[in-house]
């Protein structure tokens, strides 16, 4: 993954400006054609999406773009929506601007339709065609029974317009994703198109039918399909693969439709093997860790009493003492925001003892802290960690009282026999992470 998001540039496609980016220096070009709506800059802000793009760029020169009417590309009049042919031409314009004579075309969901048409129309510019979770048409007919009926599609579009950017239900797109991921996904969609544009594009792609195009494709083709995708039926994916001469079909486990949800590595591994002939050896991307969050109780009032200069001196001394205890108990500082710390440990007992030592050390400064700990599987993101376990730890810290070290039941269970004692604080509903039984540390 690049250390900073790549520069956004613009290609001219007819009278419109199409936003695109180029990242990576691999031996071949790969054009990523996103589904429905996109935003090339917001993609890099979503950890899972950034991981997908970073992996693709690790073995290719990756070209990203926003289709006309979406993201950072020019808007289009809602009463004159582009045809599939016009949108396909945006791929050609972006390739020209990026000085790409020939590229692998990789499209997911609706982006797969553009990819199919481009590969059939411009085989001389298509190194290979790869798709994930695509459909050939979007309305039911007796000879295409996997698509929704006209009535079901209309109801879906109405619900999306009514809830766009708010409590939009994306359970069909990422059924088993956690609530944090779903909120980020909804935010990403909102930043990728206006409600009117999003709905207009849905109505437009409801009329598309590329079934007759599939048998005309003459480039190496890989069709990927997740077995339990709720938005595109697995039988639909199998049928599409059979229509393309010589296509390779790979069925992956999972129920996610969004390409950046679920097992991203499983998808990219198949892409990399198809294009390079080998799969990568993966470094671990998840680790079991104990996370600790602390902050100063009543910091706003204390700062007002002391004044800026004295308060900053006190906070500097607080930080020094916290870091000293983290070093002593082999903790790793992940982040500092204001007067709070976020740290991780390779063992829960060390995390608890560090929290108690921090509490005692800063009491000499006249400072009270609150602390929360949780142990769970965390995502490795360069020098950071993230995921639901981190969110849970932060929520537990928010429930702690002044001078209290509060832990989850997971932490309590893992330190059994360590001599650390607890008081049961009962079950609590923690926003976005479910119900947890919490315990207060009374002796460490």
Residue 299 belongs to domain with CATH number: 3.30.70.1230
Give the count of alpha carbons within 13 A of 39, CB side only.
18
Strands 286-296 and 340-345: antiparallel
In the predicted model, is pLDDT for residue 339 greater than 90?
A: no
In the predicted model, is pLDDT for residue 364 greater than 70?
A: yes
Give me the domain span that covers residue 173.
Answer: 9-276
In a domain, residue 124? The reply is yes
Please list the alpha-helical segments (H only) found in 263-298. 264-276
| pLDDT tens-place string over residues 60-91 | 999 999 999 999 999 988 777 777 788 888 99
Mean pLDDT, residues 294-310: 89
Q: What percent of the chain has pLDDT over 70?
A: 98
Residue pair 138/159 in contact (Cβ under 8 Å)? The answer is no
431 token code pair: 């926003």
- Lowest-confidence range among 81-90, 314-323, 335-344? 81-90
In a domain, residue 201? The reply is yes
Mean pLDDT, residues 382-402: 90
In the predicted model, is pLDDT for residue 166 greater than 90?
A: no
pLDDT score at 3: 55
CA gap 306, 219 in Å, rounded: 72
pLDDT score at 141: 95
Q: How many CB atoms lie within 10 A of CB 207?
A: 12
- Kindly state whether residues 64 and 204 are assigned to the same domain: yes
What is the pLDDT confidence band of residue 380, given thresholds at 50, 70 and 90?
Answer: confident
Please list the alpha-helical segments (H only) found in 66-121. 84-97, 110-121
Packing angle of the helix pair 150-163, 195-205 (nearest 10 deg): 170
CA gap 371, 356 in Å, rounded: 9
In the predicted model, is pLDDT for residue 228 greater than 90?
A: yes
Distances (CA, A) of 352 to 205, 263, 441: 55, 33, 8
Return the exposure string of 415-429: e unless at least 16 CB atoms fall within 10 Å of the residue's CB, then b. Answer: beeeebebeebeeee
- Kindly state whether residues 306 and 195 are assigned to the same domain: no
pLDDT score at 87: 83
- Kindly state whether residues 267 and 343 are assigned to the same domain: no
Q: What percent of the chain has pLDDT over 90?
A: 74
CA gap 306, 300 in Å, rounded: 10
CA gap 210, 137 in Å, rounded: 7
Q: Which residues contact 283 (CB under 8 A, 6 or more apart)?
A: none
Residue pair 248/150 in contact (Cβ under 8 Å)? The answer is no
In the predicted model, is pLDDT for residue 1 greater than 80?
A: no
Three-state secondary-structure class, residue 109: coil
- Kindly state whether residues 270 and 368 are assigned to the same domain: no
- Kindly state whether residues 335 and 256 are assigned to the same domain: no
pLDDT score at 193: 94
The H or E element spanning position 204 is: helix 195-205
- Kindly state whether residues 203 and 223 are assigned to the same domain: yes
- Kindly state whether residues 46 and 101 are assigned to the same domain: yes
CA gap 439, 30 in Å, rounded: 51
CA gap 259, 269 in Å, rounded: 13
The H or E element spanning position 199 is: helix 195-205
In a domain, residue 160? The reply is yes
CA gap 261, 45 in Å, rounded: 14
pLDDT score at 84: 79
Residue where a domain terminates, one of 253, 276, 299: 276
Residue where a domain terminates, one of 276, 306, 322: 276
Residue pair 439/412 in contact (Cβ under 8 Å)? The answer is yes
In a domain, residue 203? The reply is yes
- Average confidence score pLDDT of the chain: 92
What is the pLDDT confidence band of residue 269, given thresholds at 50, 70 and 90?
Answer: very high
pLDDT score at 327: 95
CA gap 114, 105 in Å, rounded: 9
Check which CATH number belongs to the domain holding 37 and give it. Answer: 3.40.50.1820
- Lowest-confidence range among 203-212, 249-258, 316-325? 203-212
- Kindly state whether residues 230 and 309 are assigned to the same domain: no
In the predicted model, is pLDDT for residue 117 greater than 90?
A: yes
pLDDT score at 281: 65
* Domains identified in the chain, total number: 2
In a domain, residue 2? The reply is no
182 token code pair: 């779903």
CA gap 425, 403 in Å, rounded: 15
Mean pLDDT, residues 108-128: 94
326 token code pair: 């983290």
In the block, tokens 């991981």 appear at: 51
Mean pLDDT, residues 391-408: 95
In a domain, residue 1? The reply is no
Residue where a domain terminates, one of 249, 276, 303: 276
In the predicted model, is pLDDT for residue 284 greater than 90?
A: no
What is the pLDDT confidence band of residue 305, given thresholds at 50, 70 and 90?
Answer: confident
CA gap 38, 250 in Å, rounded: 25
β-strand partners of 29: 61, 103
- Kindly state whether residues 260 and 340 are assigned to the same domain: no
- Lowest-confidence range among 30-34, 82-86, 347-351? 82-86
Three-state secondary-structure class, residue 324: helix
- Kindly state whether residues 338 and 253 are assigned to the same domain: no
- Kindly state whether residues 432 and 391 are assigned to the same domain: yes
Pairwise pLDDT comparison (166 vs 288), residue with the higher score? 288
CA gap 76, 95 in Å, rounded: 21
What is the pLDDT confidence band of residue 356, given thresholds at 50, 70 and 90?
Answer: very high
In a domain, residue 299? The reply is yes
In a domain, residue 195? The reply is yes
263 token code pair: 């097992």
- Kindly state whether residues 125 and 177 are assigned to the same domain: yes
| pLDDT tens-place string over residues 137-165 | 999 999 999 999 999 999 999 999 899 87
């Amino acid at each position: 993954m690049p250390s900073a998001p790549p520069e956004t540039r613009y290609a001219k496609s007819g009278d419109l400006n199409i936003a695109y980016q180029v990242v990576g220096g691999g031996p071949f070009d790969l054009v990523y054609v996103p589904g429905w709506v996109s935003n090339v800059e917001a993609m890099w802000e979503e950890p899972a999406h950034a991981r997908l793009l970073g992996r693709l760029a690790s073995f290719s020169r990756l070209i990203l773009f926003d289709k006309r009417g979406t993201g950072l590309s020019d808007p289009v009049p809602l009463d004159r929506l582009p045809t599939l042919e016009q949108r396909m031409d945006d791929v050609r314009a972006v390739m020209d601007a990026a000085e790409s004579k020939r590229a692998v075309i990789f499209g997911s969901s609706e982006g797969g339709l553009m990819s199919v048409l481009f590969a059939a129309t411009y085989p001389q510019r298509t190194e290979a065609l790869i798709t994930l979770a695509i459909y050939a048409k979007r309305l039911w007919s007796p000879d295409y029974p996997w698509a929704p009926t006209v009535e079901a599609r209309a109801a879906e579009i109405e619900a999306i317009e009514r809830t766009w950017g708010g409590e939009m239900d994306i359970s069909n797109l990422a059924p088993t994703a956690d609530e944090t991921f779903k909120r980020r996904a909804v935010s990403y969609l909102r930043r990728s198109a206006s409600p009117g544009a999003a709905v207009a594009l849905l109505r437009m792609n409801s009329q598309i039918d590329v079934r007759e195009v599939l048998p005309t494709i003459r480039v190496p083709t890989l069709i990927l399909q997740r077995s339990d995708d709720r938005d595109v039926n697995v039988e639909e994916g199998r049928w599409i693969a059979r229509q393309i001469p010589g296509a390779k079909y790979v069925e992956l486990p999972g129920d996610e439709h969004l390409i950046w949800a679920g097992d991203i590595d499983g998808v990219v591994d198949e892409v990399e093997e198809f294009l390079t002939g080998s799969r990568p050896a993966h470094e671990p991307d998840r680790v079991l860790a104990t996370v600790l969050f602390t902050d100063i109780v009543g910091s706003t009032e204390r700062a007002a009493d002391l004044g800026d200069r004295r308060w900053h001196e006190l906070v500097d001394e607080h930080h020094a003492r916290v870091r000293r205890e983290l070093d002593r108990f082999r903790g790793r500082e992940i982040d500092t925001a204001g007067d709070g710390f976020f740290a991780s440990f390779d063992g829960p007992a060390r995390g608890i003892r560090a929290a108690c030592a921090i509490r005692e050390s800063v009491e000499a400064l006249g400072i009270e802290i609150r602390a929360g700990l949780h142990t769970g599987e965390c995502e490795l993101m360069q020098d950071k960690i993230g995921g639901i376990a981190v969110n849970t730890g932060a929520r537990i810290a928010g429930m702690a009282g002044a001078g209290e070290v509060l832990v989850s039941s997971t932490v309590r269970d893992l330190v059994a026999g360590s001599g650390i004692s607890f008081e049961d604080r009962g079950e609590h509903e923690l926003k976005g992470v479910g119900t947890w039984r919490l315990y207060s540390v009374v002796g460490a």
